[in-house]
Amino acid sequence: MATNTSMEEFEALLNESFEMDTPDEGSVVKGKVLAIEAGQAIIDIGYKMEGRIDIKEFAEPGEAAKIAVGDEVEVFLDRVENARGEASISRDKARREEAWDRLEKAYADEERVEGAIFGRVKGGFTVDLGGAVAFLPGSQVDVRPVRDAGPLMGLKQPFQILKMDRRRGNIVVSRRAILEESRAEQRAEVIGNLTEGQAVDGVVKNITEYGAFVDLGGVDGLLHVTDMAWRRVNDPREILTIGETVKVQVIKINKETHRISLGMKQLQDDPWGEVAAKYALDSTHQGRVTNITDYGAFVELEPGVEGLVHVSEMSWTKKNVHPGKIVSTSQEVEVMVLEIDSAKRRVSLGLKQTQRNPWEVFAENNPVGKEIEGEVKNITEFGLFVGLENDIDGMVHLSDITWDGRGEDALGDFRKGDMVKAVVTEVDVEKERISLSIKAMDGSFDTAVDGVKRGSIITVEVTSIEDGGIEVEYEGAKSFIRRSDLSRDRAEQRPERFGVGDKLDVRVTNVDAKTRRLGLSIKAREIAEEKEAVEQYGSSDSGASLGDILGAALKSDDS
């Protein structure tokens, strides 16, 4: 009986062992730590199987292994039996399988996962997500480029899974997405507490050419350069430094983009409130040139108050010159207020108005008829431009160069730089024009005709016989007597009846100093003589004939 009972028990145990499930290779199984020796943990995974795992596989990145005899752990079963007759097991692979299951669920639910950066690779970093290794691109580390990622290494922190492929074993994560989300939440909270017009303290975080970014406690606002001060600010660094705490006013909040516009000058008194009272029209003031453009120069009258001197108001004489040739930046200048537009915050200034009009000064010092001397500045097809005092020019027209010949021919006798003398013939201050005459310097005509007036009888000498009349000369001044003026008798109006060298008595009909011409007439002399004879010796009304009157007159002359 005993023997039969033992056989039945043995068969039952044998059958039980055959019926017992053997774990599948490539799966995760539970085990118990039996012992720790030589840096390894001996683990019983049941099924009368044991295996060994290096203790370091139980350690989290940057931490010491936390394992002790009796601990229950999950391991990955590679093979049921290896060359040593033990099960081939792995904690890393078990953790990886656990992690992938967990991460896939988090990815599907768009949840954050915890991990630690533990290595650097090309283009980014490696992250341990509790057993699974993920890739963190360099662009996804922070909202701004990170120069030194050292302080982030081994630090447990949240990540967002961007992409994962279990078959290929690829996971891509982002730390930046988490930061942006938290920043957005923080911004929304800070912006929710701000109102337009509110004065707040902020720290200058960054300075650019166009302004500065000010941290208001988790959210940045832009302080534009034009809102820093009422005066012109060319470079924000003139008045701000990074890290400085400044008081600013919230000018505008864009609820959609969360952009905040800030201002500093809004917290200061606006100097424009008293501009109209302080700067009366036509008053003069000292100012400083702050900026020069193609169309003029800006002059600061006081901090926050600038006016424009238009290029047309800069100089009386320099018309087509760049403003930079007349004034320079930071130069102190005297200007006159020409116009004020308080609504547009504009002041029009004049630079030339603080100096006397040079044409007025010239007219006072150089009346018509005065002789002047100047340098030929330019030669044109219609005359010469002569440099005068105070950088102004006078013009000698072609017709005022010479008495003899054509003005066009006389131009060839002049060169730039020549010194010439001329007479002032006209000054037009309004048109800024001065007319000069070189030929008026020749006073021989005035000397020759001194005392000669219209109606005078003078003796001239015939110098030339022409078809249309005769040319005569009086004291060096030449004139022309037309055919119709040679006699009151049409039959005697023949030039050929005169000869060169003949002396003739003629009547002066005109004295034109401008053209240096005398108007002469033999006919006018004869008519004048006849009229005088009639007045002296009776009239035709008394019955006396013209012949009688002339005869009596001639007798009187003879006696």
Residue 428: enclosing H or E segment and its boundaries? strand 419-428
The pLDDT of residue 199: 87
The more confidently predicted of residues 89 and 329 is 329
Residues 395 and 373 in one domain: yes
Q: Which amino acid is at 80?
A: V
Residues 100 and 47 in one domain: yes
In degrees and rounded to multiples of 5, residue 44 shows phi and psi of -90, 115
E strand segments, 208-259: 211-215, 220-224, 245-253
Residue 302's Cβ-side half-sphere holds a number of Cα atoms within 13 Å equal to: 9
Coarse DSSP helix, strand, coil percentages of the chain, rounded to the nearest 5 percent: 30, 40, 35
The pLDDT of residue 239: 85
Residues 409 and 482 in one domain: no
The pLDDT of residue 331: 92
Q: Is 375 helix (H, G, I), strand (E, B) or coil?
A: strand
Q: CB–CB of 65/103 below 8 Å?
A: no
Q: CB–CB of 53/15 below 8 Å?
A: no
Give all strands of the β-sheet with 88-90 in edge-to-edge order: 49-54, 40-46, 27-37, 72-79, 88-90
Is it the case that residue 308 has pLDDT exceeding 80? yes
Lowest mean pLDDT among 49-58, 119-128, 252-261, 511-520: 49-58
Q: Give domain status of residue 2, yes or no.
A: no
Query: pLDDT for 50-71, tens place per residue?
Result: 777 666 766 665 566 677 777 7
E strand segments, 19-111: 27-37, 40-46, 49-54, 72-79, 88-90
Residues 174 and 142 in one domain: yes
Is it the case that residue 309 has pLDDT exceeding 90? yes
Arithmetic mean of pLDDT over the chain: 81
Q: Give domain status of residue 10, yes or no.
A: no
The average pLDDT across 424-430 equals 90
d(CA 12, CA 271): 108
Going by their DSSP bridges, the two strands 469-474 and 477-482 should be labelled as antiparallel
Q: Of 316, 350, 384, which marks where a domain is finished? A: 350
Closest to 511 in 3D by CA, of 519, 523, 500: 519
d(CA 216, CA 248): 10
d(CA 462, CA 474): 9
Lowest mean pLDDT among 183-197, 207-221, 291-305, 538-552: 538-552
Query: pLDDT for 248-283, tens place per residue?
Result: 888 888 877 778 889 988 888 777 777 878 888 889
Q: Is 497 helix (H, G, I), strand (E, B) or coil?
A: helix
The pLDDT of residue 19: 45
- Which 3-state string (H, E, C) describes 309-320? EEHHHCCCCCCC
How does DSSP classify residue 63? Answer: S
Band of pLDDT at residue 323, cut at 50, 70 and 90: very high
Residues 257 and 275 in one domain: no
The pLDDT of residue 478: 77
d(CA 102, CA 408): 104
Q: CB–CB of 152/117 below 8 Å?
A: yes
Residue 59's Cβ-side half-sphere holds a number of Cα atoms within 13 Å equal to: 11
The pLDDT of residue 1: 45
Residues 44 and 74 in one domain: yes
Residue 51 bridge partners (DSSP): 43, 87
Closest to 104 in 3D by CA, of 140, 135, 132, 141: 132
Band of pLDDT at residue 349, cut at 50, 70 and 90: very high
The pLDDT of residue 94: 65
Q: CB–CB of 336/309 below 8 Å?
A: no
Q: Give domain status of residue 473, yes or no.
A: yes
Residues 277 and 224 in one domain: no
Q: Of 405, 437, 469, which marks where a domain is finished? A: 437
Closest to 514 in 3D by CA, of 406, 405, 369, 394: 369
Q: CB–CB of 251/227 below 8 Å?
A: yes
Give all strands of the β-sheet with 477-482 in edge-to-edge order: 477-482, 469-474, 457-465, 503-512, 517-521
The average pLDDT across 463-488 equals 87
The pLDDT of residue 18: 46
Band of pLDDT at residue 14, cut at 50, 70 and 90: low
Residues 232 and 286 in one domain: no
Query: pLDDT for 276-297, tens place per residue?
Result: 788 888 899 999 999 999 999 9
d(CA 29, CA 94): 8
The average pLDDT across 22-43 equals 70
383: containing domain: 358-437
Q: Which CATH number covers residue 263?
A: 2.40.50.140
Q: Of 92, 109, 126, which marks where a domain is finished? A: 109
Q: CB–CB of 328/351 below 8 Å?
A: no
Residues 258 and 316 in one domain: no
Q: Is 178 helix (H, G, I), strand (E, B) or coil?
A: helix
Query: pLDDT for 476-487, tens place per residue?
Result: 677 889 999 999
In degrees and rounded to multiples of 5, residue 529 shows phi and psi of -65, -40
Is it the case that residue 559 has pLDDT exceeding 50? no
Residues 392 and 409 in one domain: yes
Q: Give domain status of residue 244, yes or no.
A: yes
Q: CB–CB of 240/225 below 8 Å?
A: no
Band of pLDDT at residue 378, cut at 50, 70 and 90: very high
d(CA 501, CA 485): 19
Both tokens assigned to 18: 């055959």
Closest to 161 in 3D by CA, of 84, 222, 104: 104
Query: pLDDT for 353-365, tens place per residue?
Result: 888 889 889 999 9
Q: CB–CB of 89/31 below 8 Å?
A: yes
The average pLDDT across 436-457 equals 75
Q: Give domain status of residue 12, yes or no.
A: no
CB neighbours (10 Å) of residue 482? 16
CB neighbours (10 Å) of residue 488? 17
Q: CB–CB of 340/275 below 8 Å?
A: yes
Residues 104 and 115 in one domain: no
Number of domains the chain contains: 6
Any idea which residue has 């003078």 for tokens?
458
Q: Give domain status of residue 188, yes or no.
A: no
Is it the case that residue 558 has pLDDT exceeding 50? no
Q: Is 552 helix (H, G, I), strand (E, B) or coil?
A: helix
In degrees and rounded to multiples of 5, residue 315 shows phi and psi of -150, 145
Contacts of 109 (CB under 8 A, 6+ apart): none
Burial of 357 by CB count in 10 Å (0-12 exposed, 13-18 middle, 19+ buried)? middle
Contacts of 454 (CB under 8 A, 6+ apart): 508, 509, 510, 511
Provide the Cα torsion 432, 435, 436, 437; round to 10°.
170
Both tokens assigned to 324: 């930079």
The pLDDT of residue 382: 87
Residues 69 and 135 in one domain: no
Q: Is 42 helix (H, G, I), strand (E, B) or coil?
A: strand
Q: Give domain status of residue 547, yes or no.
A: no
d(CA 449, CA 468): 25
Is it the case that residue 88 has pLDDT exceeding 70? no
Q: Give domain status of residue 523, yes or no.
A: yes
pTM assigned to the model: 0.43
